[in-house]
Amino acid sequence: MAACAVLTGATATFAQNAQWTPPQNVLQLQANGTVEVQQDLLSMTLSTTRDAPDAATVQTQLKTALDAALTEARKNAQPGQLDVRTGNFSLSPRYTREGKINGWQGTAEMILEGRDFPRITQTAGRITTLNVGNVGFGLSREQRAKVEGEAQTLAIDNFKQKAAELARGFGFAGYTLREVAVNASQSNPIRPRMMAMEAKAMSSADSAVPVEAGKTSVVVDVSGSVQLK
């Protein structure tokens, strides 16, 4: 828990408007709640590159590889558990030193994402036309909402406790809430151990790509002001 406070005093200097009276006995403070949670969302990007003298050949090769991968991946697709979608599909020319086109190269991607890690990694292991290019972890919408709710409860409790302690410290019996703002954020996740690229090269067609998720922290900040009573 982190907290800071500023107390507005009973006297003030009227710089511009002599009729304006500053707030009296107003305390500004901030508190937070932090919940560490295991990441439950896996995203795997599979890709391939092709190179040929003409763009049509590259495009055909990429389409063939991507169609085969999609066909295999869709066999195990299940909403929320394993969602399948295409990623980047690009073609670009290669140039000689003289600036002339001497060939074409292209890249195609497919993304596997969901909460069922075994289903995703086994599916990736069975795909032979694309290679694992990137593995990432995060929080599903359901997990994020749940954890943010827990962190928010902690932050509010910490805010109220700090406000009560400071009110007593300044000689007041209590406080009333004036205004408050609540903000949620996610800290940088602990980097998981990922061996996907090397493992895919050595694995058989039916073996799962080994991955291991890490943890991340969801932080909710509560800031505002209270009127001391």
CATH of the domain at 46: 3.30.70.2970
Same domain for 75 and 153, yes or no, is no
As a whole-number percent, the residues of the chain with pLDDT over 70 amount to 82
pLDDT reported for residue 175: 94
pLDDT reported for residue 187: 65
Q: What is the pTM of this model?
A: 0.74
Maximum separation of any 2 CA atoms in the chain, in Å? 82
Q: Which domain holds residue 33?
A: 4-37+143-186+220-228
Domain-located, residue 164: yes
Q: How far apart are CA 68 and CA 51, in angstroms?
A: 19
**Domain tally for the chain?**
2
pLDDT reported for residue 186: 75
Cβ-Cβ contacts under 8 Å for 171 (sequence gap 6 or more): none
Q: What is the mean pLDDT of residues 159-176?
A: 94
Question: Between the CA of residue 167 and those of 35, 131, 179, what are the distances in Å?
Answer: 27, 61, 16
Least confident segment among 7-11, 60-64, 155-159, 189-193: 189-193
Q: In the chain, what is the straight-line distance between the N-terminal and C-terminal CA atoms, in Å?
A: 25
More confident residue, 94 or 197: 94
Q: Which of 138, 155, 171 is the last residue of a domain?
A: 138
pLDDT reported for residue 208: 75
pLDDT reported for residue 193: 44
Domain-located, residue 212: no
For the chain, give the mean pLDDT: 86
pLDDT reported for residue 3: 52
Give 169-227 pLDDT, tens digit per residue.
999 999 999 999 999 887 655 444 444 444 444 344 556 778 888 899 999 999 999 99
Amino acid identity at 15:
A
